[in-house]
């Protein structure tokens, strides 16, 4: 894709391929560039990398290099040295405020920041649901199709039944989703497989909410 004027900034490659599939589902793939920071010239891919590169992108709105910005980041877990949801929102609010963006208290289906001089709304989605702590995998867990739930529960039970897991407890959702995907017809693929192989319920509330948010931001 040539330099797109509408950018969805994500933390890394796994998120990129996942949201590229969602954008294609919404027919946004031709106009929205889904990219982690390093793809746009940033120093590193991570949540902090997203915050730092947001400060680089914001001035480009004024000169028209880009017209729309949205970002998806994990809330993470405050007890494991993450920001958590509210502090993540506060961090983004502080970054965009000098550029005359203010959080719209009436935001629905995701968060939007309004601009005082007519720029397009800036979008923010904090995984999983803009309220709770967690990550993309927690969002995926809420959207598993009915006919996949038995297999997912088996994967979840296998993970939770480990006597001495090597991963920290706050990464349990990642392990559960990875195990579930390892038991699919094509083991070894990333999170995008949940969309490619139609494993998620597109009518589930969180799925519909994030689609409406994306359509609203990039209309």
Q: By the 8 A CB rule, do 112 and 104 touch? A: yes
- pLDDT value of position 28: 97
- Give residue-wise pLDDT tens across range 144-199: 999 999 999 999 999 999 999 999 999 999 999 999 999 999 999 999 999 999 99
Same domain? For 71 and 106 the reply is yes
- Give residue-wise pLDDT tens across range 30-89: 999 999 999 999 999 999 999 999 999 999 999 899 999 999 999 999 887 789 999 999
Q: By the 8 A CB rule, do 184 and 200 touch? A: no
Whether the predicted pLDDT of 3 surpasses 70: no
Decide if 48 is inside a domain: yes
Total domain count, the chain: 2
Decide if 1 is inside a domain: no
Which of helix, strand or coil describes residue 176?
helix
Report how far residue 30's alpha carbon sits from residue 6's, in angstroms, rounded to the nearest whole number: 10
The predicted model scores a pTM of 0.95
* Beta-carbon contacts of residue 39 (< 8 Å; ≥ 6 apart): 16
Decide if 95 is inside a domain: yes
Whether the predicted pLDDT of 11 surpasses 50: yes
For 126, the enclosing helix (H) or strand (E) is: strand 122-127
Sign for the CA dihedral angle at 201, 195, 22, 50 comes to: positive
| Owning domain of residue 109 | 6-135+202-217
**What does the DSSP assignment read for 40-79?**
GT-S--SHHHHHHHHHHHHHHHHTTS-SEEEEEEE-B-GG
- pLDDT value of position 164: 94
pLDDT band of residue 1 (cuts 50, 70, 90) is very low
């Amino acid at each position: 894709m040539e330099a797109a004027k509408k950018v969805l900034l994500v933390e890394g490659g796994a998120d990129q391929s996942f949201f590229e599939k969602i954008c294609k589902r919404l027919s946004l793939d031709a106009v929205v560039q889904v990219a982690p920071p390093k793809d746009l010239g940033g120093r590193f891919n991570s949540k902090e990398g997203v915050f730092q590169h947001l400060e680089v992108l914001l001035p480009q709105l004024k000169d028209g290099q880009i017209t729309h910005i949205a970002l998806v980041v994990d809330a993470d877990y405050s007890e494991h040295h993450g920001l958590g949801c509210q502090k993540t929102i506060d961090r983004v609010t502080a970054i965009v405020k000098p550029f005359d963006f203010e959080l719209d208290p009436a935001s629905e289906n995701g968060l939007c920041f309004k601009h005082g001089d007519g720029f397009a709304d800036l979008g923010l989605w904090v995984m999983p649901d803009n309220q709770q702590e967690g990550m993309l995998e927690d969002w995926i867990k809420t959207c598993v199709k009915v006919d996949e739930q038995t297999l997912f529960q088996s994967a979840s039970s296998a993970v939770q039944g480990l006597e001495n897991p090597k991963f920290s407890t706050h990464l349990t959702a990642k392990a559960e989703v990875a195990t579930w995907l390892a038991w699919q017809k094509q083991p070894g693929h990333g999170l995008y497989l949940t969309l490619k192989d139609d494993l998620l319920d597109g009518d589930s509330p969180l799925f519909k909410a994030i689609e409406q948010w994306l359509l609203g931001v990039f209309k």
